[in-house]
Amino acid sequence: MGDPKGFMKIKRTAVAYRSVRERIGDFSPVALLREDSISEEQASRCMDCGTPFCHGACPLGNLIPEWNDLVFRGRWERALELLSATNNLPEVTGRICPALCEYACVLGINDDPVTARENELGIVEYGFKKGLIRPRRVQRRTGRNIAVIGSGPAGLACADQLNRAGHRVTVFERDARCGGILRYGIPDFKLDKRVLDRRLKIWEREGIRFRAGTHAGVDVPAAKIIKGFDAVCLAGGSRQPRDLAVAGRELKGIHFAMEYLIQSNRRAAGEHIPVDIAIDASGKSVVVIGGGDTGADCVGTAHRQGASCVTQVEVLAQPPACRPANQPWPAYPQLLKQTTSHEEGGERQWSVLTKRFIGEKGHVEALDCVRVEFVKDAAGCMQMREIPGSEFILRADLVILAVGFVHPEHKGLLAELGVAFDQRGNVKTDEKYHTSVKKVFCAGDMRRGQSLVVWAISEGRKAARAIDEYLMGTSRLPQT
């Protein structure tokens, strides 16, 4: 530990953002990169705990105390080496991860936790700025060819690890450009796509082959993929959206969140979207159903498109602002989250159930809603109950459904391969990420269900090691 009293002398510095007035006029990143000197100062707050709970809370096992100490001492290059050893996309997690590590920080027991996420971002951006991150030469090739289906965080991490092990890797992506949810599901104001392209170019120069615009199972039959590769990793994500089966669902103007965000990201990238299929919030009363991060991304997107008003509703009760007693440290607590999108305006309502959609001439005009509460039944189970007399109408010209995903898309590639599914509809695997089909593996949301980007990267890394062991009998790739 560089400064034993660092946490006593230095207070946590919050992330700096562009002003609301400026940022809602474009899709450029809202967060500002901080100076290296501030990162060095903030890193001094790390206490080098005997048991680093931050390390255990991170799905990637990032060596947080070690690289905090190195940053404080100005040894940025070594800090980058340690960070890169556990994380294939620190420039992404450093921007969008909910920072599970910070909620487990020992300092957070009675003070503000260490800015681990911003320190991570500072390290990787220092590496790019100084030219330290560049294509690496693969020392030897094994002669084995592996197909990775899907170029989201799980697929990319898996491909990078397998390429490091010396295998020839081909990544199939059905969309026009690679990146999966990182490119199409996360708005540019949170993740500038130039950040993603910068890393993809490096991987391409290292030997990974990207086949964007190629729909595995359609453009290339599953049988051909199985025959042409020594192993296959399915990493297509969980893309089957959860619907809201209420009266009036067939009305126009009601869209799934991912449909809305994908189209918005394509427009931001300069793609032309025909007027007859465009989902545009300009001048409209927008209601986003779902109180999670995806819903918040839709709120921020609607602001930038010029919505007249935006309301986000959630069926669950409003979470507490402070850690509740039943969610003690170092657990990740369910707290009220105020994102940059919420800071930009709009209204949030909790404990709201949508009973039906109301419309005229085939287009949605309002939501018929009621307030609800959750109470325990005789068996002690929580049950939702409508509050008598709490019915109300919420006007809406555009409704966005952000209520999550149920499982991966079964139709197409998965059905053609004949992989088994678990009770939740996800691809079933053993402890080695092997599916029910010979030489076919699976990782990420397609296997574990909808989750965080950091979990997807972890899944991809573990699947890569399992595939390497399957092909070579042993593996030098890390177990995490």
Are 468 and 179 a contacting pair, CB within 8 Å? Answer: no
Residue 343 has what pLDDT? 96
Fold of 6-129: Fumarate Reductase Iron-sulfur Protein; Chain B, domain 2 (1.10.1060)
Q: Which two structure tokens, joined as six digits, stand for 328?
A: 């003690």
Residue 451 has what pLDDT? 94
pTM of the model: 0.96
Domain 243-403 belongs in CATH node 3.40.50.620: no
- The reply to whether domains 6-129 and 145-239+406-472 share a CATH topology is no
CB contact set of 426 (below 8 Å; sequence gap of 6+):
238, 407, 408, 446, 447, 448, 449
Using DSSP, state whether 236 is helix, strand or coil: coil
**C-alpha to C-alpha distance for 403 and 369, rounded to whole angstroms:** 16
Residue 378 has what pLDDT? 86
Tally: H helices and E strands in the chain: 19, 16
Q: Which two structure tokens, joined as six digits, stand for 422?
A: 């678990």
**Can you tell me which residue has the tokens 């992989």?**
419
**C-alpha to C-alpha distance for 434 and 429, rounded to whole angstroms:** 5
Residue 377 has what pLDDT? 87
Domain boundaries defined on the chain: 6-129, 145-239+406-472, 243-403
Cα–Cα distances in angstroms (integers) from residue 280 to residues 162, 249, 312, 335, 459, in the given order: 41, 19, 17, 31, 35
What is the SS3 string spanning 363-410? EEEEEEEEEEEEEECCCCCEEEEECCCCCEEEECCEEEECCCEEECCC
Strands (E) across 298-351 are located at 309-314, 347-350
Planar angle of CA 197, 199, 202, nearest 5 degrees: 110
Residue 379 has what pLDDT? 87
**C-alpha to C-alpha distance for 134 and 128, rounded to whole angstroms:** 8
Residue 471 has what pLDDT? 98
Q: What is the largest CA-CA distance in the chain?
A: 71
Residue 87 burial (10 A CB sphere; 0-12, 13-18, 19+): buried
| CATH superfamily, with its number, for domain 145-239+406-472 | FAD/NAD(P)-binding domain (3.50.50.60)
The stretches in the chain having pLDDT less than 70 are: 1-2
* CA nearest to 39, candidates 63, 18, 67, 78: 67
